[in-house]
Amino acid sequence: MRKLILLLLLGAAAVTRPQSPARVSGASALAQRPYMGWSSWSFFRVDPTEAKVKAQVDVLIAAHLPELGYRSINIDARWTNDYDEHGIPKPNLARFPSGMAGMAEYMHGRGLRFGLYMVPGISKELYAANPVIEGTTSRIHDIANPGLAGATLNDMYKIDVSKPAARAYIDSVIRQFARWKVDFIKLDFVGPGGGNRPADNREELRLWHEAILHSGYPIWLELSNWLSIDQAHFWRSNANGWRIEDDIECYDCDESSDPAVKGNLTEWSHVALRFADVREWFPYAGPGGWNDLDSLELGNGAKDGLTPDERQTMFILWAISCAPLYLGADLTRLDPDDLKLISNRDIIAVDQRGIAATPLDIFSLRSRVRQAWINLYPGGNAVLSLFNLGPDPAAMKFDWREVDALRNTDFAGHPPMLTDLITGEKIAPTPDGINLTLASHASRIFRLTTTKSPHE
């Protein structure tokens, strides 16, 4: 009977495992790997300045993080506070005296890439100004529909893409970004998806994507926040990355009266949400576009808002999901233990290899509290990650046949050599699988190296 059940489970796995669109869709040369870097939002929120950002860059470089791939410096909201005579956003020179061209030149001079933040639609301020769109005789009123939401953020009017000047307006914005040599745009509050109100920006997004292609300058387009999985194929066709959940920041922590909590970047519950999200989204990650789990809130030790075990779990989940690895911490307060974690070359390599992990639940030996995920690579090798999401220590049992059920391997017949990617420890093959105990919210990650002869 046990053998029959095993055969049925293996057959079900072979039939039901989804084929990844990432393997069959065209890949963009711009996004062959998930990007890595730092973003201003988590720590600076609405108060970024040129001096503050450059101070972060100094630490990033001193810590040798760009050598590991952390090269994208993205300025989030509040870099602009006005528009030029054609409705194109202007730099806030009080905050950024060098302007955006100057900031890009500074970043490029230090071997980094430079990113900015935008929101789709037409703001009420721009609508009220009603400037003439560059290269046309049309005005902003001619392309705006105040009766429809322009973004999932309040106070944005929808762009009517049926009007010819709509394309001209978005082209003019992208031309300016290309002149500044902006390498990355985060387009926030895109719908359908989460936010303050329903909105559908798909047709406008096509114009953003096409404008970038026509600009002659390679710009990574990242979508936020909390995009609808029903449109996953559309996001892949028109962007290089997309957020799959709400913000990871702990906004309540800002107002907390508890000094141990006040100012924390995130909290465990926000990290744990991503395990359920990635379970649905993992087939869509691959060269050309990546699932964005939001900032890595690592770098400030206890003020990350996570225990050491939780920090390790966060980093492992992001890496095995091949999510962008961009830090949200204040790097001027860089914690040495966090630095060691985010500098782990073996785990970064898992992320940058670009083959996202698959969840393993076939034998029901674990609940959703105890999880196993596998990155399967050509040639028979793999990376196995084990997680205990529960509040108490938990026994973790893993059977090699679970891997064999996903692919034509023979780990059960030829158990693999294990290498712990955190400690570097090598573990001899065990015939039945893995049996260990994990502390609450803890994790382990192993490289599995096949011991089977290529001639067998």
What are the C-alpha distances in Å from 114 to residues 101, 221, 288?
A: 10, 12, 19
- Average pLDDT, integer, range 366-380: 88
Q: Which one of 19-23, 222-226, 450-454 scores highest in mean pLDDT?
A: 222-226
* DSSP string over 62-89: HTT-GGGT--EEE--S-SEEEE-TTS-E
CA–CA separation, 224 vs 233, rounded Å? Answer: 16
Looking at residues 103-110, what average pLDDT do you find?
98
Count of Cβ atoms closer than 10 Å to residue 325 Cβ: 26
The single-letter code of the amino acid at 261 is V
Residues making up the chain, counted from first to last = 456
Q: Contact, 326 vs 74, CB < 8 A? A: yes
Contact 311, 273 (CB under 8 A): no
Rounded CA gap, 456 and 446, in Å?
24
Same domain, 248 and 215: yes
Q: Calculate mean pLDDT across residues 117-134.
A: 98
Q: In this model, does residue 4 exceed pLDDT 80?
A: no
3 token code pair:
């053998």
Query: 367 falls in which pLDDT band (50, 70, 90)?
Result: low
Domain boundary among 314, 338, 353: 353
Tell whether the model's pLDDT for residue 13 goes beyond 60. Answer: no
Query: How far is Cα 40 from Cα 145, in angstroms, rounded to an integer?
Result: 32
Q: Determine, yes or no, domain membership for 3.
A: no
Q: What is the rounded distance in angstroms from the CA atom of residue 79 to the CA atom of residue 92?
A: 6
The SS3 of residue 121 is coil
pLDDT of 407: 82
Average pLDDT over residues 273-291: 96
Query: Domain for residue 261, yes or no?
Result: yes
Which string of DSSP letters, residue by residue, matches 417-447? EEEETTT--EE---SSEEEEEE-TT-EEEEE
Give a yes or no: residue 4 inside a domain.
no
Instruction: State whether 145 and 286 are in the same domain.
Output: yes
**How high is the mean pLDDT of the chain?**
92
Is the confidence at residue 258, as pLDDT, over 60? yes
Domain boundary among 329, 353, 377: 353
- CA 314, 350, 243, 89 torsion-angle sign: positive
216 with 296, same domain: the answer is yes
pLDDT in tens, 23-36: 434 346 789 999 99
Cβ atoms of 321 and 59 closer than 8 Å: no
Position 103 pLDDT exceeds 70: yes
**Residue 389: which domain range?**
358-449
- Residue 377: inside a domain: yes
What percent of the chain lies above the pLDDT cut of 70? 91
Claim to verify: residue 340 and residue 399 sit in the same structural domain: no
Regarding whether 413 and 344 lie in a shared domain, the answer is no
CATH assignment of the domain containing 233? 3.20.20.70
What is the distance between the alpha carbons of residues 397 and 349, in angstroms, rounded to a whole number? 26
239/371 same-domain check: no
**3-state SS, residue 341:** helix
* Peptide bond connecting 287 to the previous residue in cis, omega within 30 degrees of 0: no
What is the end-to-end Cα distance of the chain in Å, rounded? 29
Q: What is the pLDDT of residue 111?
A: 98
Mark whether 232 and 369 lie in a shared domain: no
Residue 5 lies in a domain: no
Specify the pLDDT at position 363: 52
Q: What is the mean pLDDT of residues 371-389?
A: 94
Is 184 within the bounds of a domain? yes
Q: Is pLDDT at 229 greater than 50 in this prediction? A: yes
Give me the mean pLDDT over the 396-412 stretch: 87
Which token pair is 210? 């096409």
- CATH number of the CATH domain containing 401: 2.60.40.1180
Determine the distance from the C-alpha atom of residue 131 to the mean position of all C-alpha atoms in its chain, rounded to a whole number.
36
**Do 65 and 172 reside in the same domain of the chain?**
yes
State whether residue 375 is helix, strand or coil.
strand
**What is the β-pairing status of strands 113-118 and 72-74?**
parallel
Q: What is the pLDDT of residue 290?
A: 98
Across the range 204-231, mean pLDDT stands at 97
pLDDT digits (tens, 9 = 90+) for 72-95: 999 999 999 999 999 999 999 999
Helix runs in 110-216, H state only: 124-129, 164-180, 202-215
- Residue 179 and residue 210 in one domain: yes
How far is it, in rounded angstroms, from Cα 418 to Cα 397? 15
Q: Which of 437, 266, 243 lies closest to 323 in space, CA to CA?
A: 243
**Phi, psi at residue 447, to the nearest 5°?**
-85, 130
Do both 195 and 258 map to the same domain? yes
Residue 13 domain-assigned (yes or no): no
Is the pLDDT score of 372 beyond 50? yes
Please, are residues 397 and 384 in contact by the beta-carbon 8 Å criterion? no
Whether residues 370 and 342 fall in one domain:
no
Answer yes or no: pTM beyond 0.75.
yes
Q: What pLDDT was estimated at residue 28?
A: 64
Nearest Cα neighbor of 354 from 258, 303, 282, 423 is: 282
Strand order in 290-292's β-sheet? 290-292, 241-243, 220-223, 184-187, 113-118, 72-74, 36-39, 325-327
Domain boundary residue among 353, 378, 398? Answer: 353
Q: Which residue has the higher pLDDT, 408 or 109?
A: 109
Query: Cβ-count burial of 99 within 10 angstroms (0-12 exposed, 13-18 middle, 19+ buried)?
Result: middle
Does residue 253 share a domain with residue 221?
Answer: yes
Residue 303 lies in a domain: yes
Best mean pLDDT range from 23-32, 62-71, 373-382, 410-419: 62-71
Q: In the 8-state DSSP scheme, what is residue 28? A: P
Number of domains in the chain: 2
